[in-house]
């Protein structure tokens, strides 16, 4: 597989390798792909965990409460790994804590948080 990058992106990749955190540009790109794969997996797991147990599509009101729960999680110190049951408990606590926030905003925050956790593991 060959990937073409703009000069600006190539320079950025070269800078990342120069920091010593990566030995080659391929290693850096593989790291990015692993993080994106993990982000996708976490988002899928989150959606599945929120939807678990529903016999029909959740209502807008319920989704808003879940969004609020996720917003609450943003300000909660999380361990490096979170079980599905723990995640459900965080969501439940948020639902009970007040008004919601837009899902995309909340999921972006979660992605940032999990990306930071993944960065610490690399």
For the segment 75-101, what is each residue's pLDDT rounded down to a tens digit? 556 556 667 777 778 777 777 777 777
Angle at the Cα of 89 from the Cα atoms of 76 and 95, rounded to 5 degrees: 80
For the segment 43-74, what is each residue's pLDDT rounded down to a tens digit? 777 776 666 655 556 667 766 666 666 666 65
Which among 71, 60, 115, 62 has a CA at the least distance from the CA of 97?
71
Query: What residues contact residue 50 under an 8 Å CB cut-off, 6+ apart?
Result: 58, 66, 91
* Share of the chain residues as helix, strand and coil, in percent rounded to the nearest 5: 70, 0, 30
Separation of alpha carbons 21 and 47, rounded Å: 33
Q: What is the pTM of this model?
A: 0.43
């Amino acid at each position: 597989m060959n990937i073409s990058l703009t000069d600006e992106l190539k320079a950025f990749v070269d800078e990342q390798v120069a920091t010593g955190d990566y030995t080659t540009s391929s290693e850096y790109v593989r790291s990015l792909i692993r993080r994106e794969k993990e982000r996708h997996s976490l988002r899928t797991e989150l959606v599945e965990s929120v939807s678990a147990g529903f016999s029909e599509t959740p209502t807008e009101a319920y989704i808003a409460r879940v969004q609020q729960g996720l917003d609450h999680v943003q300000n909660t110190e999380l361990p490096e790994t979170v079980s599905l049951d723990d995640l459900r408990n965080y969501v439940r606590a948020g639902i009970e804590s007040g008004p919601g926030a837009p899902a995309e905003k909340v999921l972006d925050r979660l992605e940032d948080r999990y990306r930071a956790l993944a960065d610490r593991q690399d």
